[in-house]
Chain A
């Protein structure tokens, strides 16, 4: 517990070490250590910080009691804000911060700041203690008969080994395997298109050129869409002039009089591709700006998506309602390990 204690010790080892230990620099005394007037000043500063904190706390209580909740004020740069919330936040932050600031200032100016060295004791136990532990262990093992009763030893080891299998069963129990869920949706031949939200069963005539609708399959009575279904079944329907299309030959009859439907789940990361530019016929994913060209069957023209959006073949039924011609021919949404195509 003396100043520069370490400095003396290290000078002994200088001959052995290629790098000499410079030791601690000489202690620098603060003005508050040497001048009583400065110490008095620092004391006043610390007291002021604590006092301001107390005032802030009183202001906190006052604003909780005194400011009505429906008072809104406009603060430059900050905008319209509820006066009480602003006052509570500011005063509480100040009262907590000023306690800390006072304590730190106190420690920095007035509390002793002499460098102190305490040597660490040796980590190794004494030889007697080490031998003692070994003796006690042998004595216990001998008394329990570990060496003699091998039946107990073996059954114990066997049961302990077997019990490690139980976590594997817990892992298996985390949930059912996904099976084909990732590759199937509720879309099937004859399912009508129903807006969601909105609940309007769409007819072809309901969509003008330039129109867009966000739809789900109309479920048979007694079935409803679960959240897991929703994230796969969401479909966006747009209507163009039929002559705008430039579709692959095998997809020509997947549209109906300019109405075309795509999975709304981005093939990149699964965001909802809902941003449709009516004039350019581009579908955009708002998450990563993947851009799909509706005219060519949602081919990717920009962004990180690697595959076009899966197209849903549609037609109309005898009553004029838009229906799916068949389910999706490929899994919707982003890639996964077992994806077949």
Chain B
């Protein structure tokens, strides 16, 4: 210690002490500070900024500069990240044209851009969040029988009893549920996109939502036993085929029966 103290009058001693103190504070700060949260907050605000940029370029012409909505499009305040993830993630937004209904197409924005947009919109006003993988474990948490009951009461009138989709009024339609990602179906129930009503968590619990998804996935994975499902529309197409094809064949046979042999 004395060896060091001997140099205390040295011209650079002040600088050495200052340097050591600064280093100590620096290390101490990095060791003790909640560094991860800081980085995450930073990343989140960065995503919000990115999302804002994308929003201003791609969405604000209809939804307004501050997502307040316009005559062309509804406000996005309070729709939440889940709605953005559904609409943008399935390619429904941005709309190709102002037709009756935004339809599913190849997404315009990639996953990171969608996440940034979702972060931006959810930063404006609170709304339903994007469900994480643990919330979507329908195999574990869903009950397929309960899901079938719920589906028939709440969903089947629009989406068809086998989830094939169906017509609504004036060119609108309920899309097919076959091959739709679990997260997107969950978000659709949560946020009620377009003509679809909202099924909030307190009127249709998360577990009940997973049951419905399990039921839909069950139909999706079901192999056709008899073939010729005819779109699973029901008796209309089956009747048409029965009358046209079946009766046609029978008429052919009757003609052959009645024809005289030469």
Contacts and interface: CB of A to CB of B under 8 A. Distances in A.
A85 B198 contact: no
Interface in B187-218: 192, 194-200, 202-205, 208
A246 interface: no
A279 B100 CA distance: 12
8 contacts: A31-B262, A75-B227, A79-B224, A82-B225, A85-B226, A86-B227, A200-B202, A275-B168
A211 B200 contact: yes
A207 interface: yes
Interface of A: 28, 30-32, 72, 75, 78-82, 85-86, 104, 108-109, 113, 195-198, 200, 202-203, 205-214, 238, 272, 274-280, 282, 284, 286, 289, 291, 302
B229 interface: yes
Majority SS at the chain B contact face: loop
B135 interface: no
A82 B223 contact: yes
B172 A207 contact: no
B198 A208 contact: yes
Contacts of A86: 227
Contacts, number: 111
Given A82-B226, A206-B203, A213-B203, 5 more contacts: A75-B227, A82-B224, A104-B257, A198-B204, A278-B195
A285 to B, nearest CB: 9
A277 B157 contact: no
Interface of B: 146, 149-150, 153-154, 157-158, 168-169, 172, 192, 194-200, 202-205, 208, 223-229, 256-257, 260-262
B192 A278 contact: yes
Given A30-B261, A206-B203, A196 B153 contact: yes
B167 to A, nearest CB: 9
A196 B203 CA distance: 10
A195 B203 contact: yes
Nearest to B153: A214
A79 B200 contact: no
Nearest to B199: A211
B261 A108 contact: yes
B225 A85 contact: yes
Contacts of A272: 157
Given A85-B226, A197-B150, A282 B261 contact: no
Contact of A286 (B149, B157, B194): B157
A155 B168 CA distance: 71
A109 B260 CA distance: 9
Contacts of A198: 150, 203-205, 208
